[in-house]
């Protein structure tokens, strides 16, 4: 099915199972330890264990490597280096790429710290790790570039994010009566999933099939990439990612664990397990690159934006992508004159790639901070400023490209009323509870709605149950549950009569989990497969579609009620369907919208900041399951608080690595950091998004949260911090500067 026109009324609109608050189908398996993650699969043959040896420099070449002592160590089966690694498909860039070759141990060159330089395989993990310490390496160290600030002048236009020039920005900015010109910075950040990258590789020499049980978010991407890297045909590579312990973008790519375990399994003829250790994870997988952002906003006295400017800089290895932090600015607010540019510098840090709403998550930290400062300059309420600048069509392309659905104003007003925004004091530092200064902040939420081709197979079993099979993955987001709900709704079954199987390349290709495109796209694939199955059933029974319903496990047409088990027969009945996408995203601007409200307390003595309460109001099309959707929002809000107050990969400029490469020193929020969070979901069916009429929700929860926190910190303390994260030393410095100025 090609989705090229707005969705009409369809069986999902009955909403007897879909949109209902079902608990997660995979929950019991996970809490009882029965859901196998990649490293936990146990093949029938004895397993060997690989340990990746990481480079101890950031840039240079391997001058000498002696592996003889390691090879002679107890239990060692294989030592792989660039000198004996089997031939691989070449890559144009050192950054791992989706569906492209990502060779490991391909030569003596070291491009980033902790790059894999050897793999030791032994009978036990401990033997492999101990033997890796016996490998002797000498390097020729080269000077590298590790700090974005030092490379801004050499940054070039980005190929993956086009500049936007509309009207005459310079003139409009100069002529406007009220304006702000602000500089923001965000640090390098790590996805830090609970499950690090891990793979179990098995080689079937008889059929020449390589099976990887691996932690990945998109099955067909890693299947294609591994095949190209190891010079196999895609049909020779089977990927199993049935359960993934979080990804947040880092598992959209594949790394040394997948490539080297696959190569070693072929060479040894036995299964090989490889997992990256937690310290290796931070430097040898991907991360969110740091940004420098300049936001210029100019408005008339009524607050209507006249000029919107947003320049961003980020860094990456040669050939890498940018952090497209200005993309939301192209669509979020009105303004006739616009200048939005993205620049990319070359750095010798580990690969920069997708992380938790790439682009918008850090771009809104700057844009929504600037909107708060513009509101102050206008002496205007920050909510009202955003309402005044709402626009129902693409501000760059005009009314001919309207939004498919946009309820930003309703989210702002509903949130303000529910949160008690009218109690906010416009002047900072006016509300106090003992030592604590209390403030409120607001920010808009925006995340582009994306879709991917997606397929599924549905099988009506002889007992009347339904099995759904698709490559879609579940990274802790509830995919098993919502896809089961879609199928149950389509066939008139209770959810317990549906079995969902995910994450296997032998199933029909599907979107996978990433970019907030997974649920909407894969659910649409299941919808199409179920529609095909319904047609087959109607044809078999000779029932007219217009007068037929699927309900309570039966097919009903007038006075005829036929149980699905009877329709299936002994052989069962199956259908396979796939959704592809037409030009709806070109005809209509599509995005999820929302508003975040935060109340924080800043200690007047120490500068410590605590988020006391938070509310998100979101508009995301049809909410397929309010429990899983709310959990996604809560997770995004938690990550947004972390980005605002603590998350920061510290770059050692001498050695070129992230020095805080473990969970002890890379700080993420813990339970004590997070208060009660509230979520309101606005009912909204977006018929131009998909036949499911849903949109992405997972990443919207983080987009704008950090800015709401930062704006609340200013309202509480009177200190504007544009250099994230908002650590207490920056608040104390701000107070010190204010005191000096008053003196």
* pLDDT tens digits, one per residue of 519-572: 999 999 999 999 999 999 999 999 999 999 999 999 999 999 999 999 999 999
What is the mean pLDDT of the segment spanning 150-158? 96
Residue 218, pLDDT score: 98
* CATH code, residues 381-449+590-742: 3.30.365.10
CB distance 633 to 699 below 8 Å: no
Distance CA 110, CA 101 (A): 18
Catalytic residue chosen out of the listed positions 506, 586, 699, 737: 699
Name the class of domain 2-35+451-583.
alpha beta
What is the mean pLDDT of the segment spanning 323-328? 96
Whether residue 158 has pLDDT greater than 90: no
Tokens of 552: 């309570």
2-35+451-583 and 39-358: identical CATH topology = no
Q: Give residue limits of the domains in the chain.
A: 2-35+451-583, 39-358, 381-449+590-742
Residue 411, pLDDT score: 98
Beta bridge partners of 573: 460
Residue 454's SS3 state is strand
Phi, psi of 714 (to 5 degrees): -65, -45
| 3.30.565.10, 3.90.1170.50, 3.30.300.100, 3.30.70.1050: CATH of 39-358 | 3.90.1170.50
CB distance 115 to 284 below 8 Å: yes
What is the mean pLDDT of the segment spanning 491-508? 98
Tokens of 698: 């997972």
Question: Residue length, the chain?
Answer: 743
CB distance 334 to 302 below 8 Å: no
* pLDDT tens digits, one per residue of 4-45: 999 999 999 999 999 999 999 999 999 999 999 999 999 999
Residue 344, pLDDT score: 98
Give the strands of the sheet with 454-460, arranged side by side: 2-3, 573-581, 454-460, 466-470, 498-502
* pLDDT tens digits, one per residue of 460-476: 999 999 999 999 999 99
Distances (CA, A) of 153 to 146, 345, 671: 14, 8, 42
* pLDDT tens digits, one per residue of 558-597: 999 999 999 999 999 999 999 999 999 999 999 999 999 9
**Confidence category of residue 743, pLDDT binned at 50, 70, 90:** low
**Confidence category of residue 79, pLDDT binned at 50, 70, 90:** very high
Pairing of strands 2-3, 573-581: parallel
Instruction: Give the number of other Cβ atoms within 10 Å of residue 677's Cβ.
Output: 20
- Please indicate whether residue 699 is annotated as part of the active site: yes
Average pLDDT over all residues of the chain: 97
**Whether the bond into 725 is cis, omega within 30 of 0:** yes
* pTM (two decimals): 0.97
Residue 742, pLDDT score: 72
What is the mean pLDDT of the segment spanning 362-374? 98
249: Cα separation from own chain's centroid = 5
Residues 6+ apart with CB under 8 A from 257: 50, 52, 197, 198, 199, 214, 274, 275, 276
Distance CA 474, CA 727 (A): 34
Whether residue 629 has pLDDT greater than 90: yes
What is the mean pLDDT of the segment spanning 214-219? 98
């Amino acid at each position: 099915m090609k989705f090229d026109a707005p969705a009409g009324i369809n069986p999902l609109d009955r909403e007897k199972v879909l949109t209902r608050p079902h608990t997660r189908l995979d929950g019991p398996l996970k809490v009882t330890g029965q859901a196998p993650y990649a490293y936990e699969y146990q093949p029938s043959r004895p397993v060997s264990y690989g340990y990746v040896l990481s480079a101890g420099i950031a840039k240079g070449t391997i001058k000498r490597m002696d592996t003889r002592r390691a090879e002679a160590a107890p239990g060692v089966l294989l030592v792989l280096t660039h000198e004996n690694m089997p031939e691989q498909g070449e890559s144009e860039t050192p950054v791992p790429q989706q569906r492209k070759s990502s060779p490991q141990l391909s030569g003596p060159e070291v491009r980033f710290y902790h790059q894999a330089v050897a793999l030791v395989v032994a009978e036990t993990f401990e033997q492999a790790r101990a033997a890796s310490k016996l490998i002797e390496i000498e390097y020729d160290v080269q000077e590298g570039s590790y700090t974005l600030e030092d490379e801004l002048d050499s940054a070039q236009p980005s190929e993956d994010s086009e500049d936007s020039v509309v009207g005459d920005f310079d003139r409009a900015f100069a002529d406007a009566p009220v304006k702000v010109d602000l500089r923001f910075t965000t640090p390098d950040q790590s996805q830090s999933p609970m499950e690090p990258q891990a793979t179990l590789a098995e080689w079937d020499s008889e059929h020449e099939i390589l099976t990887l049980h691996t932690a990945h978010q998109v099955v067909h991407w890693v299947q294609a990439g591994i095949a190209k890297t190891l010079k196999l045909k895609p049909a020779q590579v089977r990927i199993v990612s049935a359960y993934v312990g979080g990804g947040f973008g880092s598992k959209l790519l594949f790394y040394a664990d997948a490539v080297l375990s696959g190569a070693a399994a072929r060479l040894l003829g036995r299964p090989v397990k490889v997992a990256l250790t937690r310290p290796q994870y931070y430097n040898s997988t991907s991360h969110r690159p740091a940004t420098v952002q300049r936001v210029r906003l100019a408005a008339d006295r009524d607050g209507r934006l006249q000029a919107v400017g947003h320049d961003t800089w980020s860094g990456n290895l040669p050939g890498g992508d940018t952090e497209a932090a200005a993309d939301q600015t192209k669509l979020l607010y009105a303004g006739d004159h616009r200048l939005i540019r993205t620049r990319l510098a070359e750095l010798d840090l580990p690969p920069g790639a997708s992380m938790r709403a790439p682009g918008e998550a850090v771009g809104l930290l700057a844009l929504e901070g600037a909107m708060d400062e513009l509101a102050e300059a206008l002496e205007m309420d920050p909510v009202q400023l955003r309402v005044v600048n709402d626009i129902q069509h693409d501000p760059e392309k005009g009314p001919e490209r309207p939004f498919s659905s946009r309820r930003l104003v309703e989210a702002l007003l509903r949130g303000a009323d529910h949160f008690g925004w009218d109690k906010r004091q416009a002047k900072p530092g006016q509300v106090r509870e003992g030592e604590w200064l209390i403030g409120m902040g607001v920010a808009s939420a925006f995340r582009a709605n994306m879709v991917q081709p997606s397929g599924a197979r549905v099988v009506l079993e002889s007992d009347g149950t339904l099995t759904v099979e698709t490559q879609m993955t579940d990274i802790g987001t509830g995919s098993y549950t919502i896809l089961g709900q879609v199928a149950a709704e389509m066939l008139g079954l209770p959810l317990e009569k549906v079995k969902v199987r995910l994450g296997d390349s032998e199933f029909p290709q599907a979107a996978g989990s990433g970019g907030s495109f997974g649920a909407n796209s894969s659910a649409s694939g299941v919808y199409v497969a179920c529609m095909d199955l319904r047609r087959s059933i109607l044809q078999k029974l000779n029932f007219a579609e217009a007068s037929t319903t699927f309900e309570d496990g039966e097919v009903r047409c007038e006075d005829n009620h036929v149980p699905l088990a009877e329709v299936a027969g002994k052989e069962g009945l199956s259908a396979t369907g796939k959704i592809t996408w037409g030009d709806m995203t070109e005809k209509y601007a599509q995005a999820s919208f929302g508003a975040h409200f935060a109340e924080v307390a800043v200690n007047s003595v120490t500068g410590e900041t605590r988020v006391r309460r938070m509310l998100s109001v979101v508009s995301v099309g049809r909410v397929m399951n309010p429990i899983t959707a709310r959990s996604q929002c809560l997770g995004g809000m938690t990550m947004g608080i972390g980005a605002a107050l603590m998350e920061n990969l510290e770059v050692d400029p001498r050695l070129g690595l992230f020095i805080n490469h473990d969970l002890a020193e890379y700080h993420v929020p813990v339970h004590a950091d997070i208060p009660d969070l509230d979520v309101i979901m606005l009912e909204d069916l977006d018929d131009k998004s998909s036949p499911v009429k849903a949109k992405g929700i997972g990443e919207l929860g983080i987009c704008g949260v950090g800015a709401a926190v930062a704006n609340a910190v200013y309202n509480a303390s009177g200190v504007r911090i544009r250099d994230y994260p908002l650590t207490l030393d920056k608040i104390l410095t701000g107070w010190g500067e204010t005191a000096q100025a008053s003196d």
